[in-house]
Chains A and B, each alone.
Chain A
Amino acid sequence: MSTHLTPSSPGQTLLELRDLHIRFQSRGEEVHAVKGTRMTIAEGETVAVVGESGSGKSVTGMALTQLLPGKPACEVTGEILYRGKDLMACSGREIRQYRGKEIAYIFQEPGSSLNPVFTVGHQIAEAIKLHRPEIKDVTAEVIRALDLVHIRDPEKRFRDYPHQLSGGMQQRVMIAMALACHPKLLIADEPTTALDVTIQAQIMNLLRELREKIGMSIMLITHNFGIVKGFADRVVVMFRGEIVEEGPVEEVLANPQHPYTRALIGCIPRLGNRRERLTTIDYEEIEQALKKEERV
């Protein structure tokens, strides 16, 4: 399979989205969830996609490996170029080769992404057997994967069922499973939103460490600008299916250009700033700003 892909080297474009549109048909009405976005992710780069619920972040991530329902319920148009290959043109069988192996996912609710009837070890083993048939000692590889995400006593945890683990532990298992096949791109869709702040910090640190170790790219999907700083290289801000701003994280945080970006940054409570009222989003102002952009 990888013969069809351009060889990888750091800094080179890994993923490129061009004029991506995602439309849903629901009860005779069209929901235009993503409206002609473009985005690139370079090898080794972490790009954060930030926006409120419903802005089209998750469907963007899911469209990459055809995880959305097919026509007529959902229509995806545009180009999704992964290492030079147009993933939109892939058959279902072909895309399954990429999903998990090249592009892996972790989601907000680790509990609902894990299968409750199988042990944690079994689920990771299945992923490894599917994508790395050359591995002989699968059990040893699973234990290595659990060890990688700092799960203590991996030999014991191997036999645990998902419900026996805390939310933070479940997310570690999800990460172990996603990374067991050494993907080049990790789509981390709200990976810490369902977790306590302390656990959130641990998981973000873990992702940071593994990114260095494995050298993968990450698309971090989040509604919270707070976790982007110090983690992502670039940020893409989405509002109602459109990208309203993008740039290096530090620049956007220091000098946000779009009123929506300013509101998203202003709404985060900051320690030691309790006299200030939190910013809320003024949708009229944002819509006017968008109209003005269209005119020029």
Chain B
Amino acid sequence: MMTEIPQATITATDSLIRVKDLKVHFPVYGGVLRRVVDFVRAVDGVSFSIPRGITMGLVGESGSGKTTIGRALVRLNQITDGEIFFGDKEVGQLTTRGFFPWRKRIQMVFQDPYNSLNPRMRVGRAIQEPLDIHFPRWDRRRKEGRVRELLDLVGLPRNSGERFPHEFSGGQRQRIGIARSLAVEPEFLVLDEPVSALDVSVQAAIVNLLQDLQKELNLTYLFIAHDLAVVEHISDEVLVMTGGKIVEQASAEAIYENPQHPYTKKLLEAVPAI
């Protein structure tokens, strides 16, 4: 779908998400007075834009700042400096309250399907929870209908709603996480290492599912991973990150065929050849 958009026409104005000089610094406390003695510059001046309907890959080693970017986009992290535009609207500086209407348009899927679901909450309720928050006026039947629709969409049996997270495998739990994030019909998904904790065979099924959902629902993705092979496979464009900075941005083809930065080359070399 996105491949039909010629590269040249992708300009800032077509962007769904635009990040300008984003900084997220975490204070480090020290001394007896627990004063701020330093900062962890987790994200240190990052700019990129994501055209509507594409998958932007974000790749880098552990600790490079990928999750912090993702969390900043959904406002789980306070930003230190910079701007985040959703369409034409700057949302990075909004208060939590001001951001609320945007929250349902930007959703996040987390890495660990084991810990990101409440073990005591039935799966149906977990998927319905965002609907309770964002569509309080919907009646029960409508919400339950939506939950069944979502279970179908992600390829889970309809009776899954009655069951608890521990009754599901890792791959199925990740499907639950995806269903939950899709409940409120977002436009943009931050996928933070959604397949890193899964068997390769299960990874493949989830990657295929994400690609199908993108087409069907016209979604835009930020896909985060440490594995360049997965990122290259699913992404249209790729951002390469190390030490809080983006060192290379290129189309997925160019990243593979003509990597520029030594760090990108290192990531490419780490991919096992089969």
Contact = CB atoms under 8 A, between A and B. Distances in A.
A278 B204 contact: yes
A278 B61 CA distance: 24
Which secondary structure characterizes the binding site on chain A? loop
B200 A226 contact: yes
Which secondary structure characterizes the binding site on chain B? helix
A296 interface: no
Interface string B176-205: 000000000000000000000001111111
A151 interface: no
Nearest to A196: B226
A197 B227 contact: yes
A263 interface: yes
Interface in A157-208: 166-167, 196-201
B199 A52 contact: yes
A128 to B, nearest CB: 31
B203 A267 contact: yes
A119 interface: no
Interface stretch (B5-13, B76-84, B126-134, B228-236): B228-236
Interface residues of B, number: 35
A197 B201 contact: no
Contacts of A198: 61, 226, 266-267, 270
Interface of B: 61-62, 169-170, 199-205, 207-208, 211, 226-230, 232-234, 252-253, 256-257, 266-274
Given A197-B229, A201-B270, A266-B204, 18 more contacts: A53-B202, A167-B62, A197-B227, A198-B226, A198-B266, A201-B269, A268-B274, A269-B207, A269-B229, A270-B229, A271-B256, A272-B232, A272-B257, A273-B233, A274-B252, A278-B205, A280-B208, A281-B205
28 contacts: A53-B202, A167-B62, A196-B62, A196-B226, A197-B267, A201-B269, A223-B200, A225-B200, A226-B272, A229-B274, A230-B273, A266-B204, A267-B203, A267-B204, A268-B200, A268-B274, A270-B274, A271-B268, A272-B232, A272-B256, A274-B233, A274-B234, A274-B253, A277-B208, A278-B203, A278-B205, A278-B208, A280-B205
Interface of A: 52-53, 166-167, 196-201, 223-227, 229-230, 253, 263-274, 277-281
